[in-house]
Amino acid sequence: MGKHILLLGPPGAGKGTQSKRLAAEFDLEHVTTGDALRSNKQMDISDMDTEYDTPGAYMDAGELVPDEVVNAIVEEALTSADGYVLDGYPRNLEQAEVLSGMTDLDAVVYLSVDTEELVDRLTGRRVCPECGASYHVEFEPPEESGVCDECGAELEQRDDDTEETVRERLRVYEENTAPVVEHYRDEGVLVEVDGEGTPDEVFDSIVGVVDE
């Protein structure tokens, strides 16, 4: 039976990077809410008494997919996985309570990163509009400033990576998801890992928690 790992942390903490590495290290499914929604866009949810009959209809309309739909999709993804690293769910206390009813967790890891460090990380991101490659002006710069190594296109800063937007994203995270962190802390299952080291140092710390 594969391990059941939940990775929590604010935007910019490195959850995506570390989740992928963990999944590879322990031969687990990497389950993210976004991927699960995209792969189940045509799932029939007509029995749920929701506005639309598929998750894809919400996404195409630019609307948030309701919690009950997200819960069902995540449950489907976890049930079909031998073991998993869960990233991006639960986003609120209600989802955390639903999650406890659908699976048992072997490890709950929280990546702790100072707010100003998160702002630096997120505002420094640059993406290639042509091939999708991602860089960082400080931590992972392209060989030539402002130019994609892969295809030579001019790099851009995404609208949601400006400082004002980043601070608002972090505020919303604190409002909605910080209570989830406290929920697992109160249950005595949360292990906090310093997310400000190098990616390798952070990864080694997480592996240490999972192996315990």
Catalytic choice (41, 91, 167, 185): 91
Residues paired with 4 in a beta bridge: 84
Please indicate whether residue 167 is annotated as part of the active site.
no
Please indicate whether residue 126 is annotated as part of the active site.
no
Catalytic choice (21, 121, 125, 126): 125
CA distance 155 to 145: 9
Please indicate whether residue 20 is annotated as part of the active site.
no
CA distance 175 to 171: 6
3-class DSSP state for residue 118? Answer: helix
Q: At what angle do helices 163-176 and 178-186 cross, to 10 degrees?
A: 40
Phi, psi of 149, deg, nearest 5: -65, -35
Residues paired with 193 in a beta bridge: 111
Residues paired with 31 in a beta bridge: 86
Catalytic choice (21, 121, 126, 169): 169
Q: 10 Å Cβ neighbour count for 61? A: 10
Catalytic choice (15, 21, 121, 126): 15
Catalytic residues: 15, 91, 125, 158, 169
